[in-house]
Chain A
Amino acid sequence: MSRSIAYKQKARRLAAEGGRPGSAATLRKRIARDFKRHKFKYLIVLPVLIYFILFHYKPMYGIVIAFQRFRASVGIAGSPWVGFDNFARFLQDPYFWQLLRNTFTISLLTLVFSFPAPILLALLLNEIRVRWFKRTVQTISYMPHFIAMVVACAMIKAFCQTNGIFNDIIALFGGTRANLLSNTSLFYPIYILSGIWQGVGWNSIIYLAALSGIDQEQYEAARVDGAGRLRQMISITLPGLLPTISMLLILNLGSILNVGYEKILLLYQPLTYEVADVISTYVYRKGLLDADFSYSTAVGLFNSVVNLFFLLVANKISKKMGQSGLF
């Protein structure tokens, strides 16, 4: 976080310098000087800039097909305009509310349960003083991240089968065997818990990095003042992590409607549609069946607008609460 603070100070300094009179000429001069001084930094940033311009800004004009009935053979220029027709079609869909509800439910559950998990893990790991044990735990917890989604889901499916390991446990305690993935009330727990299993180790890295940035002198001072381990965690470690947490939370809220369709697609089935079918899977089915580009674009645009709204709100709240925002 110290880098972020330094950056802020620098920005403030630059802002103060910019306030000087005769800014037009000096601004150019200042930019030129900045270029000269940091030419390698600019060079390093260049490919990223080119990437964004080429792959994220240039294709943006394609959004217009959300307002067309797009046909690939005649292109954007030749396709007829239909206004908000595609959006209306989406909103009038009998399944629209169910999709929206499921999408929000899964997103919120992820935020409530999956989001804090890596923070907890990082805090716990931070308290471990035996280095080999810490390393081992870290390595093991990273591992699921490197299992491809298809393989991970195949494992989950196998575990949930009537002769799978979970049913073995249920049977051990006298329960009856049943396919767990066919049960609508178990879909969310399976989805969320497996998500934590897959991501907790990997996602804790960023928090561990932030933890290592906390000034060790603060801990020494606290110890001198007689603070125990728990006190230290609450009063030093957590506040030190807070900027990272709030940043990641804002980013997560910014993708609230983007529930990854791969995993759901691999785990759901007609019996669990009513709880598992989300916007992205529905659009996937429609896109795959009908190759309806305009409709998918319209839904994508709808998704992005909602996401942007949540991002802005979260950013605002974060700033209001005295935490650093994204912008």
Chain B
Amino acid sequence: MKRRSLTQVLAITLTFTMAVGLAGCGGESEEGSNESQDSGKGSVEIGEDVEPVDVTYPLDTEDTLTVWSKGQITPATCYADYTESPFHTGLAENTGVEVEWQFPAEGADITQAYNLLLTEEVLPDIIFTDIMPSDAQQLINDGIIYDLTEYLPIYAPDYWETIHDPKYEKVLESLTTDSGSFYGVENFCEDLFNITYLGPVIRQDWLDECGLEAPVTLDDWEKVLVAFKEKYNATMGFYTARFNMSGLASGAGAYGNFGGLSFYVDDDGKIQVAQTQEEWKNYVEYLNRWWEMGLIDTDSLTMDDVAMRTKVLNNEIGASLTASSQLTNWRADAEAEGTGANWVGIEYPRIAEGEPTCFIQARYSGTQGWCAMITTSCPEEKLITALEWLNYGYTEEGMMYWNYGTEGVSYYLDEEGQPQWTELVTEDPDGTSTARGKYIGTNGTGISVQLAHMVEIGFSEETAEAVYKWIDNTEAQEHCVPRISLTEEENTRYSDLTNAINTYMEQMGYKFLTGEESLDNFDAFVEELNGMGLAEVLEIQQAAYDRFIGK
């Protein structure tokens, strides 16, 4: 017993070192790996007077590439690895480049896997990951990835054309670091439709029975909720992780909901915090009144998707804010149990009928920050192949392949020339979503443009309708803070300050909601935030935003 106890003590005292050790091992840096960058340029020509190359696929090359992806573009789970996956083998065939795909082990912490990867002596040729421009700048400075600013216009002409499409005008600046360097090839989403998955939902059958219209303003909401309460003893309930993102704040003209700090750009180009504004106070006043009136389910703060689903099935909830996937579940439950519930998505609340919504879940269309970067382990001779391979997903032909797979196999063109899934996909026993993953690369995030049409034909009619309602007549993007990047020092200071502020804000937001803290103390709340360094946080954000605008 004695000996075992001693080991236990050691285990306890030293356990924490494991995590540290994992993060810290591989202390050597990659100093040796960037020498190829300085050696002769070989056949790679860059400069302003060099014409873009004419790329035709399949490429005529012997080169092979290694690509590491942080858990996206993975082969469908029914295949042992990428060599069996129709999408991956087809991509190799179409581009003429054999690719050795690498993914973090299944179930592994992908962020940790990425951090560990960076400590390797020799990196894969291409790394596909989500990354902030400031971190990418660091990687360029450390000599780990290529600065692609001069290469992209010449060797990835289709990508270059895509990012200069007026549709993506707003995100173009967020593709570069503060010093203006392009560091990789970014994933794109064609439309706000692609990235919208949260919004208000309601029992349409109850609305009809009560003879009410779908609510538009917060006052309408109140009327509907009161009617639901009286007639069905049902409330509005939500799962905070779903609700926090946007809530119904738009109905009061607020740019933030609950949870942590919510920044926006005001009309004068100044960064502001939503939760210290009058609009937010008004919004919380509504919610607090509803809470006091018993219109909000008091379990909302502890419920998750599963608990919500049960309550919804038991007719205890009449309105909510949730994800399109949950909407599908709720509808399916209602059908299976024959409750007669007709859940539909409705528009985010507005200040007044006809006014645009100012704050919804989807902030940026365009890019989601996923980026394929070329590491300096990729020798200069292979650089053109790597760039041209990355370019494929942005050519007309490549975009079709990444989004729909192969014509005649996974899709066909209908009478209007629109792609539709073949039976191979729709009748797949594993379900359509998994089936798509076998043939296409943009089911999640791919090195291409995810087309809105592809997303839409994957939805049921009701879900597609809900998403269209959620993004209807919105100005949310006008005021959202773009993908700005903080310097290392700013970042340290920022995270120290915001960690405490976010904790306080989260706590107080819900206390205001439940009435545990009176809204009369709102000014004291703002005062307290200022005392915690909110002004400095805003200064940091503003400085970064000004740098961004200056680009």
Which A residues are within 8 Å of any B CB, using their own CB? 1, 3-4, 7-8, 48, 52, 55-66, 69-78, 89, 93-95, 154, 157-158, 160-163, 178-179, 181-182, 244, 247, 251, 254-255, 258, 269-271, 273-274, 277, 282, 285-286, 289-293, 296-297, 300-301, 303-304, 307-308, 311, 324, 326-327
Contact = CB atoms under 8 A, between A and B. Distances in A.
A60 B119 contact: no
B540 to A, nearest CB: 14
Contacts of A161: 299, 302-303, 307
B311 to A, nearest CB: 8
Nearest to B316: A163
Given A56-B15, A162-B297, A307-B13, 12 more contacts: A59-B24, A77-B27, A94-B532, A158-B307, A163-B316, A179-B298, A179-B301, A181-B302, A182-B302, A270-B258, A308-B13, A311-B13
Contacts of B3: 7
26 contacts: A4-B2, A55-B21, A56-B11, A56-B17, A59-B20, A60-B17, A62-B22, A65-B24, A69-B488, A72-B116, A73-B138, A75-B27, A94-B500, A157-B307, A161-B307, A179-B302, A181-B302, A247-B1, A251-B5, A270-B507, A270-B509, A271-B301, A271-B507, A273-B506, A282-B499, A311-B13
Contacts of A304: 13-14, 16
Contacts of A181: 302
B14 A60 contact: yes
Contacts of B297: 162
A120 B500 CA distance: 42
Contacts of A61: 21, 24
B2 A251 contact: no
Given A56-B14, A65-B24, A307-B12, A300 B138 contact: no
A308 B273 CA distance: 43
B514 A182 contact: yes
Contacts of B524: none
Contacts of B1: 1, 3-4, 244, 247
Contacts of A48: 7
B304 to A, nearest CB: 8
Contacts of A291: 111, 115
Interface string B11-53: 1111111111111111111100000000000000000000000
B328 interface: no
Nearest to B111: A291
B495 interface: yes
B538 interface: no
Of all A-B residue pairs in the complex, the 5 with the closest CB atoms, nearest first, are A59-B21, A62-B24, A62-B20, A300-B16, A72-B115
Given A270-B507, A293-B23, A300-B20, A182 B298 contact: yes
A73 B142 contact: yes
Contacts of A270: 258, 301, 506-507, 509-510
A163 B492 CA distance: 45
B24 A73 contact: no
Contacts of B21: 55, 58-62
Residue of B20, B297, B495 with highest tally of chain A CB at under 10 A: B20
B17 A63 contact: yes
A326 B510 contact: no
Interface string B513-537: 0101000000000000000100000
Contact of B23 (A72, A78, A94, A324): A72
Contacts of B307: 157-158, 161
B261 to A, nearest CB: 11
Given A56-B10, A63-B20, A75-B27, A271 B510 contact: yes
Contacts of B315: none
Contacts of A282: 499, 503
Given A59-B17, A69-B492, A158-B307, A76 B27 contact: yes
